[in-house]
Amino acid sequence: MEKEKLQSLYYEMVLVRRLEEKSANLYQQGRIGGFLHLYIGQEAVGSGVIAARQAKDRVITAYRDHGVAISCGMEPKVVFAELLGKETGCSKGRGGSMHLADVKLNFWGGHAIVGAHLPLAAGMALADKYRGSDAATLCMFGDGATNIGYFHEALNLSMVWKLPVLWVCENNQYGMGTSVERASAVSEIRQKASCYGMPSERVDGMDVLQVYNATQKALEHVRKEGPFLLEALTYRYRGHSMGDPERYRAIDEIEKWRKDDPIGIFREKLLADLGFSELTLDEEELRAENVIEEAVQFAEASPDPASETLFDYLYVE
């Protein structure tokens, strides 16, 4: 990867981290309503996967979607405006945290029902194949989603029809308060691909370059031959959502994973092996902080949706 791209990848991961920290503050102040699921700890997965996509490739994910939206090119000010329910948000304040989306960015959302977007991903990949496009669909979901029927139906059909879809499981080792071992018959999620004769790989989801390289390789396969399941082993440092009392994880387990902070690992690599200076990386961090500050100001100054638009965008009159 060229130097410029490495630098912007670092900037992006810091941007996502700061965006999430700021979102947590705003939520605690009661300025964000509804649910809020933070991506802190998982930044290397979204950034690594999306860095390998081409603009024609579609991206779809679950409700832990802020980082993926940023990687797809959504501006932080648009994200904050959506979180604050403002007219300038990507869904004009109607969707909130779990429903970020922008079709112009080929980012198809933000979905709140666990596993339900996997059949949608299969459908989008079917559409591309049917039209003779060589675009791929990148579908991201959690470990918990792989215990749901939708996952198995979507993987099966994608293999039967050799659809150009990359299944990316973000295995953060918990679905709400339930560990993978308690909910899944196999804890190595990639094994689930083998029932459908689908190739798979497991990568260290705390190492953005490993995720990027594995995604590139997997996408080559997807474009030529069909589906692939990529499992990224990762960890979320915060609760499942805001207000999670977190009684299911031991403090020392969280501390152990904190040592593998994806931003820290990448920073060390950039400094030690890839010729970056502390100054350059500090400047990128400062840039990210400023962008987040300005984004929040933009969102706060934006208007609420007008009350007479309350019934706009509904399917039923």
Q: By CB under 6 A, name the binding residues for ligand TPP.
A: 64, 112-114, 142-145, 172, 174-176, 240
- DSSP strand pairing (228-233 vs 165-171): parallel
The full DSSP string for 167-214 is: EEEEE-SEETTEEHHHH-S-SSTTHHHHTTT--EEEEETT-HHHHHHH
Report what 145 binds from ligand TPP, Mg ion, none; CB cut-off 5-8 Å by kind: ligand TPP
- DSSP strand pairing (174-175 vs 178-179): antiparallel
CA 264 to chain centre: 19
Binding characters for Mg ion, 158-197, by CB under 5 A (x = yes): --------------x--x----------------------
Give which of 260, 254, 55, 262 is closest to 138, Cα–Cα.
55
CB of 302 to Mg ion, least distance (A): 33
Shorter beta-carbon distance to ligand TPP: residue 205 or 227: 205
Q: Which two tokens stand for residue 21?
A: 């920290």
Shorter beta-carbon distance to ligand TPP: residue 7 or 42: 42
CB of 206 to Mg ion, least distance (A): 15
CB of 175 to Mg ion, least distance (A): 5
Report what 176 binds from Mg ion, ligand TPP, none; CB cut-off 5-8 Å by kind: ligand TPP
Residue nearest to ligand TPP (CB): 142
Decide: is 102 part of the binding site for Mg ion (CB under 5 A). no
Distance CA 262, CA 231 (A): 16
CB of 64 to ligand TPP, least distance (A): 4
CB of 272 to ligand TPP, least distance (A): 31
Q: Is the Cα torsion angle 19, 25, 26, 30 positive or negative in sign?
A: positive
Shorter beta-carbon distance to ligand TPP: residue 53 or 64: 64
Shorter beta-carbon distance to ligand TPP: residue 79 or 112: 112
Decide: is 65 part of the binding site for Mg ion (CB under 5 A). no
Shorter beta-carbon distance to Mg ion: residue 95 or 175: 175
Q: Which two tokens stand for residue 274?
A: 């890839």
Shorter beta-carbon distance to ligand TPP: residue 64 or 66: 64
Question: How far apart, in Å, are the Cα atoms of 80 and each of 69, 87, 202, 278, 289?
Answer: 12, 11, 33, 29, 14
Distance CA 75, CA 58 (A): 18
Decide: is 142 part of the binding site for Mg ion (CB under 5 A). yes
Shorter beta-carbon distance to ligand TPP: residue 53 or 240: 240
How many CB atoms are located within 10 Å of the residue 286 CB?
11
Hey, what amino acid is at 96? G
Q: Which residues bind Mg ion (CB under 5 A)?
A: 142-144, 172, 175
